Chains A and B, each alone.
Chain A
C-alpha cells in the first residue's frame, strides 16, 4: 500500500447503516434506486445549476460548441451569457466511458457560482473534501453512483484561480431530445459529478 488508510468504517457509522438499509430495501423490491436520485434532486433547491445545465445541454447537441467548451471553458460559457466572477478560469472536463471526473476543493470550497449557483452543504464539508481525494469511489457509492473498476476516476481540485465543471455523459436514448428537454436531465450533482445525468423516464421517452 502506498498510503495509510486511517479511515476504518464502523458498522454503527450512519453512512454504512444507510447504505445497508438501502441495499436491503432494494433487494426486497420495495424501492427503485433511480427514484431515490430523482427525489433527492426534487427536494434540493436548484437555482443556478440551470445555467450549467444549459451549457451541458448545448454541448450535447452541438459538437462544435462542445469542442470550444473543452478547449476554453471560460469563453464558451461566456458565449451563453454566463460568467462574470472576477478572474476565475472555468475548465470543463469531459466524462467518457473510460474516464470519469469528480470535482472538489480541498482547501476551502471553491465552486463555480455563475454556472452552478450555491454550493450544496455537503460539498463544503471537510469530510467530502478529504474523502473525495482519498476514496472517490466510496464517496460516489454513497451518492448511489457506481463506477466500473476499469473506469479511471480523476479528481480535480478547484482553486481560487481555476474552477472545474464536469461535462457528464449524455444519457442513453436521448439523442433525439431537444436542448430544452435535455436541460432538465442535467442536475447540479452531475456537473460536480457525484451523480450521472438523469435518465429520462422510460415511460415517457420514445
Chain B
C-alpha cells in the first residue's frame, strides 16, 4: 500500500484531530481519495501536487481566509488537484466546469421518493 507523505505541519498539512485526518463533509474525503488513487496509479507526481497545494493555500491566505478550517483546506486541495491534472493534460478545466454544471442541474429530489 502506498504511503503518501502527508505533511504534518506547515501550510500543506491537512487538518487533524488526535492524529486522525479531519473531513467535515464526504466530498473532502472523496477529494483526498481521488488524489491518493491517482498518485498510487503513478499518474500524479506527489511533489508537484504538494507544491500546487502550498500555492493554493497561499492564495487563500492572501484573500484573508482562514485556511485552518477543513472546508477551506479541502477546497484548496481540490483546486490543487485541478491544477496538476490540468497541467498533465488529464483534465480540461472547461470540461470540468461543464460536468459540474450538468451535475448541478440534476433536479432537486432526483435521488429519493416521497
Contacts and interface: CB of A to CB of B under 8 A. Distances in A.
B10 interface: no
Interface residues of B, number: 52
Which of B4, B36, B106, B114 has the most CB atoms of chain A within a 10 A radius of its CB? B36
Interface stretch (B45-53, B54-62, B93-101): B93-101
B50 to A, nearest CB: 15
Given A20-B103, A25-B91, A39-B40, A3 B114 contact: yes
B35 to A, nearest CB: 9
Contacts, number: 155
Contacts of B111: 135-138, 141
A87 interface: no
A35 interface: yes
B34 A36 contact: yes
A7 B108 contact: yes
Given A11-B103, A25-B90, A39 B33 contact: yes
Contacts of A139: 26
A194 B26 contact: yes
Dominant secondary structure at the B interface: helix
A20 B31 CA distance: 11
Interface in A9-30: 9-25, 28, 30
B87 interface: no
Contacts of A121: 17, 22-24, 70
Interface string B13-31: 0000111111111111111
Given A35-B40, A36-B30, A39-B37, A16 B112 contact: no
Contacts of B21: 43-45
23 contacts: A5-B108, A11-B104, A15-B25, A17-B96, A17-B100, A18-B31, A18-B34, A20-B102, A24-B91, A24-B96, A25-B90, A30-B41, A35-B41, A40-B29, A40-B32, A43-B21, A45-B18, A121-B70, A122-B28, A136-B112, A142-B27, A143-B26, A194-B26
